[in-house]
Amino acid sequence: MRGMTVRYQALRGTRDILPDEIAAWRFLENTTHEVFSRYGFRELRTPIFEATELFARSVGAATDIVRKEMYTFTAGDESVTLRPENTAPVVRAFVEHAFHRTIAAGFPERLYYLGPMFRYERPQKGRQRQFHQIGAELLGAPEPLADAETIEMAWSLLSALSIEDRELRLNTVGDTACRPRYRETLTRWLAPRLPALCEDCRRRAVENPLRVFDCKVEADRKLLEEAPDMAGSLCAPCAEHFDAVRAMLDGFKIAYVVDPRLVRGLDYYQRTVFEIVATGLGAQNALLGGGRYDGLVDELGGPAIPGFGFAAGMERLVMVMGKTAGVAVSSDVLLVGLGEIGFLASIGLARTLRARGLRVAMPLTERPLGAQMKRAERLGARFALFVGETELARGRFGLKNLTSGEQIEVDEAGIEAVVLAERNDHGR
């Protein structure tokens, strides 16, 4: 409506990733593609929304995500949900395209993804409603080496991003044979203590007792320190599996702490669960987390195939990545047209240079020299190229290096050679 000013802002819990931040994001993306492909992982891109049922079934009806954090809406007569996580969609695609036909003993399918996820959470530093995850899923491998190797890959990714202040936390949550026993033990232990615990914990005690360990209330955490550990209830195969994973990590010389209180939020985990936290990042310090999910593929209609995977928060990785990671991309050269003839000639020259791969900036209208030089600085251009009547007549142009101030004369081919050499020197 005319006369009324409305100022739109990005919604709470969402944010724009600005051009100045893109270098870091691209560095993160490229490093991920590079590192994951070394381990034989292949990228899979699934839709941003899926049937609501898919998440309710896999993530678990009693989890915070399904209970209160999903962006769910009806389109036509379908209930759809913006993906809150991407393991379930990857497994859905794996089953739908019958990937299991091509896996063989010892040779699982390795898939990875990057992209936005959506959770209606209370926003705070490091926690958004639209955020981005990098994730890897290894399907078809029951071996402890699947766990250890995937954890090692996560560790390598962080190393490649120069994230050194980190800690690996490891635990096992047992399987369908021994977890029910532990659940019982824990439920019995919790019963007389329920009145002292927070409301959330009292609910968890009924719906999914292991989740009490996710409680953030200090008094509760203190009380829960005395609770019995999963370790005391593990069945022999689970205990062996965990020992083997630990021995391999020792072999890889990756340090970890066993944290018996680490249970992870989602229902589908079995046996190994892990998390890597950034030391010194504040409350939301989990960089990535994951674990083994042996029952999920058959739960979602596929064959009984084991899985292991993790997801990392990209915003958090960008926050702690080495400051040198990622070099800003700016213009190579600003074409400074001198006078009308120079300006008109620079239009054609810009096309030629762009076609040859140079990042060229130029004004869309003839501008005075001073204004153009100021612009060159704003753009962070490496060079200014002067295009005037005299230069055109001689076929030689003034090319000024804006960092050193040095100016040389070059012909058309020379522009390309000098500018590209400078770009290679600076690795961008």
Q: Site residues (CB under 6 A) for ligand AMP? A: 85, 119, 121, 126-128, 131, 133, 265, 286-289, 311-313, 315-316
Token pair of 220 as six digits: 């509760």
Nearer to ligand AMP by Cβ, of 85 and 175: the residue is 85
For ligand AMP, the closer CB: 125 or 378 = 125
Computed over its alpha carbons, how large is the radius of gyration of the chain?
A: 28
Q: How far is the CB of 416 from ligand AMP (least distance, A)?
A: 43
Residues 354, 356: Cα–Cα separation, whole Å = 5
Residue among 163 and 287 whose Cβ is closer to ligand AMP? 287
Of 63 and 331, which CB lies nearer to ligand AMP in the complex structure?
63
Q: Name the residue among 201, 344, 169, 196 with its Cα closest to residue 272.
A: 169
Shortest distance in whole angstroms from residue 284 CB to ligand AMP: 7
CB 5 → ligand AMP: shortest distance, Å? 32
**Nearest-approach distance from CB 9 to ligand AMP, in angstroms:** 19
In Å, what is the CA distance from 369 to each residue of 76, 326, 363, 378, 394?
A: 58, 32, 11, 15, 21
Give the nearer residue to ligand AMP in terms of CB position, either 214 or 416. 214
Burial class of residue 12 in the structure, from the number of CB atoms within 10 Å of its CB (0-12 exposed, 13-18 middle, 19+ buried)? exposed
Residue 290, token pair as written in the block: 């994951």
Closest approach of ligand AMP to the CB of residue 73, in Å: 19
What residue has token string 């400051």? 323
Contact between 139 and 107 (Cβ < 8 Å): no
Between CA 274 and CA 425 the distance in angstroms is 41
| Residue with smaller CB distance to ligand AMP, 95 or 320 | 320
Burial class (CB in 10 A: 0-12, 13-18, 19+), 247: exposed
- How far apart are CB 248 and ligand AMP at their closest, in Å? 23
State the residue number with the nearest CB to ligand AMP.
313
